[in-house]
Chain A
Amino acid sequence: MMALAGIDWNTILPAWMIAHAAALLVITPLLSGPIALVLSRGRLAWAWALGISAITFVLALILYGQVLDHGSVEYVFGNWAPPLGITYNIDALNILILLIVAGMGFLSLLYGLPSIMREIAPKDQAAFFATYMICLAGLMGVAITGDAFNVFVFLEISSISTYILVAMGAGNDRRALTASFQYLILGTIGATFFVIGVGLLYMATGTLNMADITAQLQVHGDSRVVRAAFAFIIIGLGLKTAMFPLHTWLPGAYTYSPTMVGVFLASTATKVAFYAMVRFILGVFSPAAPFDGALLELVLAPMAVAAMIICSVQALYQTDLRKLLAYSSVAQLGYMLLGLSMGTAAGVSAGLLHLFNHALMKGALFMGVGIFVLSYGVRHVKDLRGLGKAMPLAAAAFTVAGLSLIGVPLTAGFVSKFYLITAALDRGWWWAVVAILISSVLAIFYVGRMLEAMYLREAVKPAPRSKKAAGNKPPVIALVPLLILGVANIWFFFDASMPKALTDAAASALFGGGTP
C-alpha cells in the first residue's frame, strides 16, 4: 500500500490524468457502464470492467498521493466556483473510503468471474457488469463529493444499481427478488428522507455546497428548519447504513444476492453511507449545531450497543452461512457507530479504522463462503465439515478473516477494537467497553462454530457436492483475491500506520473546527 502510494505517477501517466484524477475517478467507471452494455458478450464485458476498475484503483492511489502531499484536493465541475457549481472535495476522511471502494471493486470483479459465469444467464452478463460498474461509480460519487444534492444523485445511482444487482441472485434463489424489493422500498424511503433534509437545509441556507452550508448555518444560526433537516438526513442515511433498528433489509440482501455482489456490498455499501453520516453530523452540522452532541450520546450510542449485542446473538442462531455473516455485519456497524457516538477524535478515528478493517475481513469471509459454494455447494454452517483439509488455502484465509472479526491479536481486527476500547475508556464509557467485550465473546461463538465445523469435524461422507458445484479445486482467479485479503488482515496488524494516519488526520480535521 505504502509502496504503491510512493510511485511517482507523474512520470508514468499523462498530465491530464493527474490533473483531473478526482473527476476521472468517478466518470471512468460511470462511462464504462454503458460501454459494457454495448459489448454484449459476458467475458468481454468482464475483462473491460476489470481493466476499468484497475484504472479506477490507480486513480484512487493518485488522489491518495495528492491528499498526502496537499492535505486536501478540490475539483470544480464546469469551472463554476462553489457555491454556484458542484465540487469534489477529497481529504483524509474520504480518500480512505475511496481506496476501500476502488480496491474492493477491483478485487470483487477479479474474484467474480467463475461465480458470475455460473449464476447469471449469458445474455444478461453484459448488462450485469454494466450495472456493477455504475454501482461502483455511484458509491465513489457519494464519498467524493462536496455537494449535498450531488450526494443524493449518486446515492440514487448506487442504490438503484444495488437493488438490481441483488435481484440478479434470483437465478440461484427466488428469495433474492423479495429481498431486493424490500431493500428497494426501505432504500427509497431512506433516499426520500435524505432529500427532504437537503431541501430543508437549502431553505435555511440557500446553498447546497457542504462547506458553504456550514458557513451559512453559522450566519443564520439554529432554527427549527435546521433541526428538522438534521433529523431527516440522519434517518435517511441511517436506513442506508443499516443502523439498528433500520437494518432489516440487510440480511436478505446480503444472503440472496449473487456471490460477487455479496462480497462487494458487504465491504463497501454500508461503509459509504456511514461515511456520509459522519460527514453530515461532524462535517456539515457540528460546527453550527449545538444539539448533535446530545443526539450522539442519547440516540446513536444506545442503538450502536443494541446492534452490537442483539445482532451478534441473531448471528449465533443462523444456519445459513451468508446470513450469519450478514447479521455479524450489522453488529460490526454498531462498533463504527459507537466510535462515532463517542463524539471524540479518538472515538471517530477508531470507528473509521474499524470500518477499514471490517471491509478487509468481511470481504474475505464472503469470498471464502463464495468459494466453498462454488466448489462444494456449501450453504450451511454444518456443510463446512472437513473443508479445512479439502481446501487448505481458502480455509486458512477464511480462518484469518474470522479471527480478525473476533479481534484476536495478530489480526487487523484486534487493532481497531483496541483503539475503540481505549477511546471508550478515555471518554469514561465503561459500559461501552463491557458491550464491546460481550459482543466479541459472541463473535467467538459464531465464528467458532464455523471454524469448528471446518477443522474439527470429519466430513461424514465425501464432502457434500451439489450439481452446481464445479469440482474440488477452487478456481485460482477466485482464490487470489481471497488470499490477498487474508494477508491484508495480518499485514494491517503489524503495520496499521497507513489507515491509522488517515483516520487520525480525518478525525482531527473534523474536531479541529475544520470544514471539508
Chain B
Amino acid sequence: MSTDFLTPLDAFTIIDLVFMTMLVVVGIAIVRLKDLFAVVMLSGVYSLVAAAWFVSLDAVDVAFTEAAVGAGISTVLMLGAMLLTAREAAPTKPIRHWVALLVVCATGAALLYATVDMPSFGDPLSAPNAYVGLEYLKRTGADTGVPNVVSAVLASYRGYDTFGETTVILTAGLGVILILGMGSPLRKKKKPAPAKTKTNTNKDEIIGAHHVVLRVVSKMMIPIIIIYAAYVQFHGDFGPGGGFQAGLIIASAIILYALIFGVEAAKEAVPPSLVRLGAALGVLIYGGVGVINLLLGGKFLEYNVLNPTHPAHGQELGIMFVEIGVLVTVASVMLIIFYGFTSRQPDISDKDW
C-alpha cells in the first residue's frame, strides 16, 4: 500500500460527496416520515441516487442492478405490500432504546476505527486492486474471451457463488409460496361469486373509461421492455448486464401488464403454476450446466470442457447458459412474490391508485 497516493479533490470527488450527502438526507427522511407511500417512493429515490453514485465509482454493473432492484422492482413490490396495510404508519410512542443506541454507536465507532488503516480510495497498490483483482483483469480475455470482466468473475471464476445466490432467490420464492401462497384456486372459490363478477365489471368500466392512454402506451411498451431485457441478457458479456438484471426487467414488464390490465389477466398470460416451475427450472439449468461439465470429465462449472478445442468458446457457452438459468429463476421468483402479495387482497382496486 502506498502512502503517497492521495485522492485529489477533483470534480468526481465532489460529485461523490454530493451523492453521499443526498443518501444520508433521504435516509433520515425515510426514518422520520409516517406516510408509507412517501417512504416507498423515497426508498426508490434512495436506490436511484445510490445507483448514480455507483456509476460515478465506476461500478456500472452494480449500479445497473441497484437501479433495477432498488428503484424498479422493489418499489413495485413495496407498493403491493403497502396496499395490504394502511397508508400511514400507526403513531407509536417514542421509546428510548438506550441499549440499541449504544449498540448502533459501537458498530459505527468500530467502522470509523477501521477507516484509519484503510487504503486510500482508488489506490492502485492497495490489496484488493493489486492482488486477485488485478489477476482477473489480466487473465479474463485469454481465459474466457468475455470482454466484461465482471461477467466473467460472476459467472465463471466465482460461478459457484452465483449458483448459490440463484438458490437464495429460489429459496425466497419458496418462502412466499409456503407462507403467503400464490392465490390458490381454493381461496378464490370461497368468495361469493356474484360479488366477484360485480367488482370485475366495475373495474373494467373504470379502466375502459379512464385509462385508454395507459393501456395503449403500455401495450406498446411491454414488447419493447422485453426486447430490452433480451438485449441486457445477451449483451452482459460485453457491457453491464446479465441474467439477474434481465430477469428483473422481464418481471417488471409482466407486473406492468398486471397493474394496467389486472392481476387476473396477468395470471392468465403467465399462470402461477408456470412461474413456480420456472423458479425451480432456473436453478436446475444452472446446476445442470455444472453437472454436464462434471460428466464430460471436468470439475463442476468448468465450462472449458464444453468445447475442448477452444476452451474460451466453452467458457462463453457455459456463461450464456448459466445466465439463462439466473434469468429464469429471477424473473419467476419476482412474479411469485408479486402474485403472493396480490393474492392477499381482491385486486389492486383503481380507487387506491
Contacts and interface: CB of A to CB of B under 8 A. Distances in A.
Nearest to A131: B174
Contacts of A480: none
A159 to B, nearest CB: 9
Contacts of B179: 164, 167-168, 170
Nearest to A36: B280
Interface in B272-307: 276-277, 279-281, 283-284, 287, 290-291, 294-295, 298-304
Interface in A224-272: 224-225, 227-229, 231-232
Interface residues of B, number: 57
Contact of B299 (A77, A127, A200): A77
Nearest to A83: B132
Interface stretch (B8-16, B69-77, B157-165, B253-261): B157-165
Interface string A197-212: 0001011111110000
A382 to B, nearest CB: 33
Nearest to B167: A157
Interface stretch (A26-34, A302-310, A419-427): A26-34
B113 A78 contact: no
A30 B158 CA distance: 18
Nearest to B273: A40
Contacts of B172: 160
Contacts of B300: 20, 23, 27, 77-78
Given A134-B167, A156-B168, A79 B280 contact: no
Contacts, number: 171
B116 interface: yes
Q: Which range contains the number of A residues in contact with the other chain? A: 35 or more
Given A153-B164, A224-B117, A225-B114, A75 B299 contact: yes
Interface in A127-150: 127-128, 130-131, 134, 137-138, 141, 147, 149-150
A123 B295 CA distance: 35
Interface stretch (B123-131, B212-220, B339-347): B123-131
B174 A77 contact: no
Nearest to B159: A78
A355 to B, nearest CB: 25
B164 A157 contact: yes
B298 to A, nearest CB: 6
B114 A168 contact: no
A130 B174 contact: yes
A232 to B, nearest CB: 7
Going nearest first, the 5 A-B pairs with the smallest beta carbon separation are A206-B131, A206-B127, A34-B280, A228-B114, A153-B164
Interface of A: 16, 20, 23, 27, 30-31, 33-35, 37-38, 75-80, 83-86, 123-124, 127-128, 130-131, 134, 137-138, 141, 147, 149-150, 153-154, 156-157, 160-161, 163-164, 167-168, 170, 196, 200, 202-208, 216, 220, 223-225, 227-229, 231-232
